Amino acid sequence: MVNQVFNQVTAHSTFPSSMSIVEDYDMGGNAISFLEVDGFRYPIVDSEIVKGMSQLKAKDDDILLLAYPKSGTHWTWEITSMLLQGKAETIPHWKSKVMVELQPQEVIDAFPASPRVLNTHVRYNQLPLQAREKKCRMIYVLRNPKDVAVSFYNHHKSFENLYKNYNGSLNDYLPFFLSGKTDYGSWFDSILQWEKDIEAQRDRHPIHIMYYEDMKQNPVEEIRKLAGFLGVSGDDSLYNAVADKCSFENMKEDKEPFDPKFKGKLLVYRKGQVGDWQNWLTPDQNEMFDKVYQEKMKDSKFKDNIRFTLP
Ligand code: A3P
């Protein structure tokens, strides 16, 4: 696979960092582009913001919502924000307004909510230093990687500007995904690194772990547990109302006015199901996926809770 570097910028006030737009190719030779900063791939977003991310000022009560892309970040952000406001009313904002690799300090600071639910797809050691020093509360969301791969494939094809018009087939894309060449790197590396960091940080940061599949199967119970973590004093009527307002169908309809970029497109609210991969992966592709999964995840504790289908 060829790596083509278009430009190279090397400048930073406190420590040197390298930045470039890289064009890579899937197995079929279809081009896809990323922003690469210090060897880590991002969508093509503002490189100055990515560069300044570690210096972002955090507040003591900030909550960090953390997930590999396509794991249910929008959904969990909406649920968390509704619980914190104590009512099941749609949040009239785009979650990306408080996404740390996307927004400058002034936009994040102007966000009208307290506490704030900052969110990101980066790893622990890339988080804003202050958020780490202040031991901010963290919510970590996981989803089974076959559904993540299918969702990410559709994402890469749909966000034309972020990846410069990627248009490969799933067959060509899967090896690319499995070898960790996408933005935010390998799902496996990300999950395994978070597993280590969560273990190491447990005594510093309060951490709550959620699985997309559990949220789908029993949303009210998962919302109740999350409320307990957040210290929100709600009751069943609130949890039921939040679960309903945050159902896939309701969010798809309600959030559109606040996510204008997504209007009428299958970008974020695509299908929202567990096991959609079964409609996409051939038996051969599935076997290839299983091989990599078994090998990479053999020592993972998360593995015990990751479900590829629901009963
Ligand atoms: P699909 O592409 O499988 O539909 P993220 O927010 O981390 O980018 O994840 C996006 C995925 O979460 C998409 O998956 C999207 O449809 C799904 N999603 C978004 N809102 C949801 C909701 N309210 N309930 C269930 N899934 C949701």
Residue 161: its pLDDT value, please? 85
Task: Report the separation in Å between the CA atom of 231 and the middle of ligand 1, taken as the mean of its atom positions.
Answer: 26
**179 lies in some domain:** yes
**311 lies in some domain:** no
Residue pair 122/45 in contact (Cβ under 8 Å)? The answer is no
Residue 266: its pLDDT value, please? 59
**67 lies in some domain:** yes
Query: Is position 12 annotated as part of the catalytic site?
Result: no
Catalytic residue among 12, 74, 93, 121: 121
**45 lies in some domain:** yes
Q: What CA–CA distance (Å, rounded) separates 134 from 36?
A: 28
Q: What is the pLDDT along the chain (311 residues), one digit of tens a residue?
A: 333 333 333 333 344 578 999 999 999 999 999 999 999 999 999 999 999 999 999 999 999 999 999 999 999 999 999 999 999 999 999 999 999 999 999 999 999 999 999 999 999 999 999 999 999 999 999 999 999 999 999 999 998 888 999 999 999 999 999 999 999 999 999 999 999 999 999 999 999 999 999 999 999 999 999 999 999 999 999 999 999 999 999 999 999 888 766 665 657 899 999 999 999 999 999 999 999 999 999 999 999 999 999 99
Using CB distances shorter than 6 Å, the residues near ligand 1 are: 67, 69-75, 147, 151, 154, 246-248, 251, 268-272, 276
Residue 259: its pLDDT value, please? 77
**112 lies in some domain:** yes
Query: In this structure, how many other beta carbons lie within 10 angstroms of the beta carbon of residue 155?
Result: 22
pLDDT in tens, 227-239: 999 999 999 999 9
**309 lies in some domain:** no
- Full domain range(s) for residue 53: 2-304
**310 lies in some domain:** no
Q: What CA–CA distance (Å, rounded) separates 47 from 40?
A: 12
* Residue 286, CA atoms < 13 Å, CB-side half-sphere: 11
Nearest CA residue ID for atom 23, ligand 1: 248
Number of domains in the chain: 1
Residue 16: its pLDDT value, please? 55
Ligand 1 binding pocket mutation candidate from 248, 265, 279 (most atoms within 8 A of CB): 248
**37 lies in some domain:** yes
CATH number for position 66? 3.40.50.300
List, edge to edge, every strand of the sheet that includes 207-211: 117-120, 63-67, 137-142, 207-211
Q: What CA–CA distance (Å, rounded) separates 239 from 65?
A: 19
pTM of whole model > 0.85? Answer: yes
